[in-house]
Structure 1
């Protein structure tokens, strides 16, 4: 069963997802600020992989299990990316109506409800389940690995909370409704963390190598294909690039001090 320490470190990223999203509904962040957080998160997550997960895999020296776990991790993330892209295509806004045609009449004093982007949110929810599962993988490797991974994912979920809140605001969805969505998304992260902690608490060395390599692949995909891709939507500056290396260096030093 998960320990109190594990539960606290799982709640930390989930809470920041809701808090950052709630703040963004009141005061949306600038594009530069969001890009800076994305660069920082990418550096931090990359550092956790390089400093904590990869050394454990090299020490265990199980190439077959590592290769299988890594391949499954890449396949899972590619499948999630394909699922998300398919849903985004289905939910593209319809072209503007023909001005020569009369609009359909609607009963007076009625407001047409704004539909939630279910496909997009489903993709984010699945991604969050995997992120939560990463917490379980981290604690399966050790308390230090779990703590550092939880902090790294917390920074990533701050950027996600900002993005979700901004997207909901652009769609004209009310703040209260956006907050409910954010709470629901944080619950999916906690569900993934709980599943990971329960299932991975008593793994053999062979299974642990496969799970750690799965986590390393998923986190590397997160850095290269999601965090940095979104971060580069803003014009790159020296300060933004420095944020990546600042995040990496900070967690590199933490890894040294905690060993």
Structure 2
């Protein structure tokens, strides 16, 4: 089996999560509090992926290129946020959620690139990170499907568009792995630093920010730590 085909199979769970999420949102969208709990739980899992998987990989390389990767990753993520804000402002008043679709597409491409970096670091690392990103894709699919339903589009589009967007993550992961695999240690350390920052940015500046748009509850806060512990246990099983 070719590496690309193998990676395509490994990245099927996010696509399936998008299908499930869009179906749930189309027939019974979650309320604000339920969405906040899902976001906290997902943030805990993604945070654990960055801390337990990518940071240990960072420490195995020279410090300087990793720090360079941190700086480049932060610069890119801040730039993408500015672009996302412009897109949302440009298309925010449109009846069709064009801005949300574009921002979600960019987010999934970046996540797919990080996943490609993870698989280049090792198959187990890639699989574990796929688990974390699968839950993120589930939430994104819920959001996109709810927005499409609110725009009164046909239900078939509310079901299919999130799934099509999820394929961007798979394609970016396959392409990223093809580029990053076999890379020399110094540029690879830069990429690892970049990937770490991208995940931490996702947690602190996207998932938790959106989760706090509704009043905080103890249950929602606990969901973050439950997500962290769940990922810790998954890692312990996959990498005994």
- TM-score normalised according to structure 1 size: 0.86
Task: Count how many residue pairs are aligned between Structure 1 and Structure 2.
Answer: 238
Aligned residue in 1 for 2:197: 217
1:1-60 Cα distance to aligned partner (Å, 9 max, x none)? 526553222111122112211221111112222111111110001101111111111122
SS, match of residue 29 in structure 2: coil
Between Structure 1 and Structure 2, the one with more helix by share is 2
1:133-148 counterparts in 2 under 5 A?
133-148=113-128
Contact 2:11/2:170, CA 8 A, preserved across alignment = yes
Aligned residue in 2 for 1:86: 86
Aligned residue in 1 for 2:55: 54
Aligned residue in 2 for 1:22: 23
Distance 1:15 1:230 in 2: 24
Contact 2:146/2:158, CA 8 A, preserved across alignment = no
1:45-124 counterparts in 2 under 5 A?
45-60=46-61, 62-93=62-93, 116-124=96-104
Any unmatched runs of 5+ in structure 1? 95-114
Contact 2:137/2:166, CA 8 A, preserved across alignment = no
Contact 2:108/2:168, CA 8 A, preserved across alignment = yes
Contact 2:7/2:174, CA 8 A, preserved across alignment = no
Q: CA deviation at 1:221?
A: 0.3
Pairing 1:200–2:180 present: yes
Aligned residue in 2 for 1:102: none
Contact 2:116/2:126, CA 8 A, preserved across alignment = yes
Indicate which of 248, 254, 257 corresponds to 2:228: 248
Contact 2:48/2:232, CA 8 A, preserved across alignment = yes
Contact 2:69/2:191, CA 8 A, preserved across alignment = yes
1:37-88 Cα distance to aligned partner (Å, 9 max, x none)? 111110001101111111111122x122111111111111111111111111
SS, match of residue 125 in structure 1: helix
Distance 1:147 1:117 in 2: 32
Aligned residue in 1 for 2:130: 150
Contact 2:42/2:136, CA 8 A, preserved across alignment = yes
Distance 2:85 2:36 in 1: 22
